[in-house]
Structure 1
C-alpha cells in the first residue's frame, strides 16, 4: 500500500539511481510524441504552450493540448503506450512503443493518426533541441524499467503536480502548471510586477526539474527574475530545507535525496512545503 497524506502526497523512498534515471529518460522521450504533435499539428500559441502537456494523476498519463478538432495525444507512463483520445477523452487507438526504436514508434504513430483521417503531412521529428534518445536501452529501443523505477517516477509527477498547484493558487497572476518537453520540468511562474505596457518585470518560478548539470537528481526549484537588479545577497536567510544557488543561479533547490531522508509522507510534504513557503516569503519581501 502506498503511504500518502490526506491531500495525497505519495511517499518517495528510492535513492536516485541508474534504473530510475533510465526510466525518467524514456518518459522524457515518449513525451516527445505529444510535443511533436503540438509543434506541427496544433496552431502555434504566442507563448509556445501548444507543445506543453499536463499530468493526469488518475490515469498516470501525460496529456497534450487539444487539436481544434477536439482530439488529444496522451502517454501512459505505467505501460509505455501512446493514446489518441477523442473530444470526450475516450481512448481510440493505443500504440505500444515498448520494444521499438523511436523512429519505428514514430512511423507507427503517424500511420495510426492517418488512419484516423488526421492530416500528418506536416508532422516530423525535428525539434529546436536535441531529442533525449540517450534514454533508450541498449539496442536503442523503448524498454520499461523495473516496477519500482516506473512507480517512483510516477510519484515524482504526482507529487510535483500536487504541491505546485497548491502554491500556484496563492498567486493572482500565474501560469497554469504544465510540463515542458525540452527540460521535462513540471512548473509554473507567477508574475509579481508588471510595467505600464503590462509586460512582466518581476517573476517567481517554481517546479520540479529532472537531473541536469546543476543538480544530478530530480529536484524542486524556486527561481526569480527581475528586469532591474534586485538587492539580494548570496547569503539569504537559511531555508528549512534545500539551499540557495546564488550567485551562479537565481534561485534555490531541494533535491530528492534530502526529501527521502524523511520517512513519512506527511513529513516529506511538510519539508517541501516549508522549502517553498519560506523561499517565496523571502523573495516577495525583496521584490517590493
Structure 2
C-alpha cells in the first residue's frame, strides 16, 4: 500500500517540474516533510509561497497558501484523471502562467499510471505506520547531522522516495549519503542506509569492522543498512554515528 503514497507524491513532483526553474541536480523536484502536520510538500511554487502538499493521515492533496489549507481533494476512490483535472483547474484559476503538466522525466518502480487508475485509501493503521516512518527518519537525520557536524538539507526524492541527506566529510575527500529507503531489492521493509563516495565511486566496505546495529554491504550497494522495524531514534542515531565514524577513520 505504500505505492499509493509514492504515486500520490508524483503530483507534487510534477508541479515542481511544471512551475520551478530546472536544476541540474534535479533538486527542484524533491519534497520537504512537515513532521508537525504530517505533510509532504513542494518547494514554494510562486512568489506568494504557495505549495501543494500530500496529507498522510487524510490521504489527500492540499493547496496551501500562507501556511493555511485553501483547497483540498480526497484521493480515495478518485481516478488519476480526476486528480489531474483538479490540479489543472486549480493552477489555472491561480493565474500561474505555465500549465500544470504530469510529465515525469524518470521511471518509477511500477507500471505507468493510466487515466482510469483508481486510488484506494490504505487503512488508518497503515497510514499511521508510514507517517511514523517519515517522522522517525526526519528526527534521526536532524539529530545525526547536528551531532556529527554535517551540513545538509533533508529532502524526499520522488523517484526512489527516500528521505535523504548528502554531505561532504570535513577534512576528507569523501562525501556521504544517508537516509531512509522504502522496500526494494536490498531490503523487504523500510530501512536506514548510509554510503560514502570518493568522487563518483562508492567506498569499499569489505575491510570494515562490524557495526553494533545494522550491517555493511559491498556488492551492488556499498554501504550499511539497518531495517527500521523495532528501531527507535536512539538506535537510529547510533547506527549512523558508528558508520560515519568508520568512514572518517
> What is the TM-score of this pair, normalised by structure 1?
0.78
Q: How do 1:179-190 residues align onto structure 2 when only pairs under 5 Å count?
A: 179-190=156-167
Shift of 1:187: 0.8
Q: State which of 202, 206, 209 in structure 1 corresponds to 2:174.
A: 202
Q: Secondary structure at the match of 2:195?
A: strand
Say whether the 8 Å CA contact 2:197–2:203 is kept in structure 1. no
Shift of 1:104: 2.2
Within 1, Cα distance between the matches of 2:203 and 2:41?
A: 40
2:213 matched residue in structure 1 = 241
Within 2, Cα distance between the matches of 1:226 and 1:54?
A: 27
Say yes or no: does 1:83 pair with 2:47.
no
Say whether the 8 Å CA contact 1:192–1:203 is kept in structure 2. yes
Say whether the 8 Å CA contact 2:10–2:158 is kept in structure 1. yes
1:158 matched residue in structure 2 = 135
Measured on the aligned residues, the alpha-carbon RMSD in Å equals 2.4
Within 1, Cα distance between the matches of 2:69 and 2:201?
A: 49
Shift of 1:271: 2.1
Shift of 1:172: 4.9
Say yes or no: does 1:226 pair with 2:190.
no
Moved over 4 A (4+): 131-136, 228-233
Aligned length: 246
Within 1, Cα distance between the matches of 2:193 and 2:243?
A: 10
Residue by residue over 1:214-272, the C-alpha shift from the partner in whole angstroms, topping out at 9 and shown as x without a partner, is 2121110011110287884514111111111114322010113xx32x6xxxxx32222
Q: Secondary structure at the match of 2:139?
A: helix
Shift of 1:201: 4.7
Change (3 A) 1:120 1:110: farther
1:99 matched residue in structure 2 = 77
Q: Secondary structure at the match of 2:5?
A: helix
Q: Secondary structure at the match of 1:175?
A: coil
Within 2, Cα distance between the matches of 1:253 and 1:175?
A: 20
Shift of 1:146: 1.2
Say whether the 8 Å CA contact 2:205–2:222 is kept in structure 1. no
Change (3 A) 1:77 1:134: farther
> What is the TM-score of this pair, normalised by structure 2?
0.89
Within 1, Cα distance between the matches of 2:209 and 2:73?
A: 50
Q: Which runs of 5 or more residues in structure 2 are unaligned?
A: none
Within 1, Cα distance between the matches of 2:110 and 2:78?
A: 12
Say yes or no: does 1:32 pair with 2:10.
yes
Change (3 A) 1:132 1:106: farther
Within 2, Cα distance between the matches of 1:173 and 1:54?
A: 19
Residue by residue over 1:162-202, the C-alpha shift from the partner in whole angstroms, topping out at 9 and shown as x without a partner, is 001111224555220000100000010111268xxxxx952
